Structure formats: C-alpha cells, structure tokens
A = this chain, B = another copy of it.
Amino acid sequence: MSESQEKVLSILGVGLIGGSLAKAAKSAGLCQKVVGYGRCLKSLQRAVDLGVIDQIACDVKTAFESADFVVLATPVGAIEPLLKQAVGHFKSNVVITDVGSTKGSVVEAVRRALGEVPGNFVPGHPIAGTENSGVEYADAKLFDGRRVILTPLEHTDPDAVSRVRRMWEGVGSIVSEMAVNHHDEVLAATSHMPHMLAYLMVDTLSKMDARHEIFKYAASGFRDFTRIASSDPVMWRDICLANSDALLSALEEYSSEIMQLRNAIEAKDDEYLMALFSRSKAVRDQFC
C-alpha cells in the first residue's frame, strides 16, 4: 500500500458519478477496496457484477465503519439522513466528501446532521456527468480532464483537503478551491439555469398542437439544446430547492433579457438583434 493509497473507499449512492469514481479510483490504484451502499439492492448487486464495487454494505453503519475515505454520491437531499445514521461509526482517520452540485445546502445538511461541519468533511463538486444516470453508465474516464471544485470551510483540516484533492487528481481531474457561496452562484448560471431552460423548452413544445411534427422536424441544434432535459428529475428537483436563491436571481436576469428580445422583435429592431447575436457569438466562440 503506497502512502497515498486509501485502504477502504466507501461510496454511498453508486450511480453514474459514484460508480464512475469507484471504477476510476480502482483502476488508478487509489484504493484497495471499494464498498458500496445505496437504496436499491438490485442496483448494488449490478455494481458488483459490473466490477464497479467490491462489496455491498447492507447499512449506513457498515458503509462507514471500515471506511478511510467516504464519498456521498447520493442526491443532495439524502445527505442529512445518511449522516445521521452514520453518527458514532466514523473511523478516526476518515475523510468524508460529497459530489453535490450545490454546496451551501450540503454544508447546511451536514451541520444539521452532525451539529457542526467536522474538519474532516470536504465539500466537493466534480463538474462532470452526462444526461444518463445509473451505474450501467459508470465510466472510469468520466473525470479525466474535467474540473472539480472543492469548497473547504475556514476550519476544514488541510490534510483532509489534500487527501480529497489527491483522489480527484488521481482520476485525472483539475482541482480548484472556491468559497461555498461563490460556487453556488457560478453553478446556478452555468449549469442549473441551462437545465431549467432545457426542461422548460421540452415542456413548452410538448404542449403545442403541432407537437408530433415539432419533434419530428427538430434539428440537431434542438437535440443538443435539450439533451440535458433527459437528466434525472429527482436530482434536479433537489438542486432547485437547494440552490433556489442563486437560481431565482439568474432566472430573473434571463427573463428580463427575453422581455427585451421580444420588444426588439416586435419593433423589428434589426440593430438590437444584430448586436445581441454578434456579441453572444463572439463570447461563445472565445470561451467554449
């Protein structure tokens, strides 16, 4: 066992993200054994069959007791009840992290569950994923070259941060650190709002009279635009509720842009339209 290797990695929530991390960590030799816990025994059994995890923990207590490194990869709403069941079963050297898309709400959930956010809890968020969910899609390369944001608090143990950083860097990610609130604002804009707009797009079209033709003639631009509307509804419900302030404020600004565009189209204001489209194209071409 090398010094940087974790002995037992426990993954709570063995879906796309948890399963991919399990596979990646094993194939990079970052841990000796992966233990998995989840609500659905059948899907855990599939994770064993697929070689994603080595062992099923039949309860939260067992998932924690032997673990040196715990990853909470469930929807954000499940973190509080899980940690409540884990109280009293933490190994002394354990490091705990999560993969939630909202960090303020995770920090609150940990605080509610444990009375405080312990120094060995490192909030984290891998900016990776696809519209697919479930362990069947687990992919050891999912985090390769992707960004991971850690949002340690003031009193978070630097050694715990290092171990979490080492895990993510070991599976190929680019790790950076950011304050909790700042993370939530940035993600509301870049991820949460686009998901809302894509879900709304599909819903709006499916209510139209010509909906069958609408989907038949949808071009590839439309398919790309709405790909994220195939994402897991439970996860996105939780994210909406968890990051509502930042999301509402982003939607507010967006709505006001729609209103201005509508006025410009109505007024046949070709200069406004040309300026808007040119500006957006320039930004998109520069950044993406």
A interface with B by C-beta (< 8 Å): 127-131, 147, 149, 178, 182, 185-187, 189-191, 193-208, 210, 213-234, 236-237, 240-241, 244, 247-248, 250-255, 257-259, 261-262, 265-266, 268, 270, 273-274, 276-281, 283-285, 287-288
B288/A226 in contact, CB under 8 A:
yes
Interchain CB contact under 8 A, B273 and A202 = no
**A225 in contact with B222 given A197-B201, A217-B127 (CB within 8 Å):** no
B203 pairs with A236, CB closer than 8 A: no
Q: Are B268 and A233 in contact (CB under 8 A)?
A: no
Q: How far is the CA of A202 from the CA of B277 in the complex (A)?
A: 10
- Give the complex CA separation of A219 and B270 in angstroms: 32
Which residues does chain B contribute within 8 Å of A247, judged by CB atoms? 265
Residues of B within 8 A of A244 (CB): 265-266, 268
**Could you tell me the distance in whole angstroms from the C-beta of A276 to the nearest C-beta in chain B?**
6
B257 close to A258 (CB less than 8 A)? no
**Contact between chains at B284 and A217 (CB < 8 Å):** no
Q: Is the CB of A203 within 8 A of B280?
A: yes
Please measure, in the bound complex, the distance between the C-alpha atom of A151 and the C-alpha atom of B22, giving whole angstroms: 54
Contact B254 A200 (CB under 8 A): yes
User: In the complex, what residue of chain B is closest to A252 when comparing beta carbons?
Assistant: B262
Distance in angstroms between the alpha carbons of A207 and B279 in the assembled complex: 11
User: Can you list 5 A-B contacts with CB-CB less than 8 angstroms, sorted by A residue number?
Assistant: A127-B219, A190-B222, A197-B258, A236-B273, A254-B258
Known: A189-B214, A208-B253. 19 other contacts (CB 8 A): A185-B210, A186-B214, A189-B204, A190-B217, A191-B222, A196-B261, A197-B197, A201-B254, A202-B284, A206-B280, A206-B283, A218-B287, A229-B280, A229-B281, A233-B274, A237-B274, A248-B266, A251-B262, A258-B258
The listed residue with most B CB atoms (<10 A of its CB), out of A203, A223, A255, is A203
Q: Are B248 and A217 in contact (CB under 8 A)?
A: no
Which residues of chain B are within 8 angstroms of A218 by Cβ–Cβ distance? 190-191, 287-288
User: Given A221-B227, A241-B273, A281-B230, does the pair A253, B197 have CB atoms closer than 8 Å?
Assistant: no
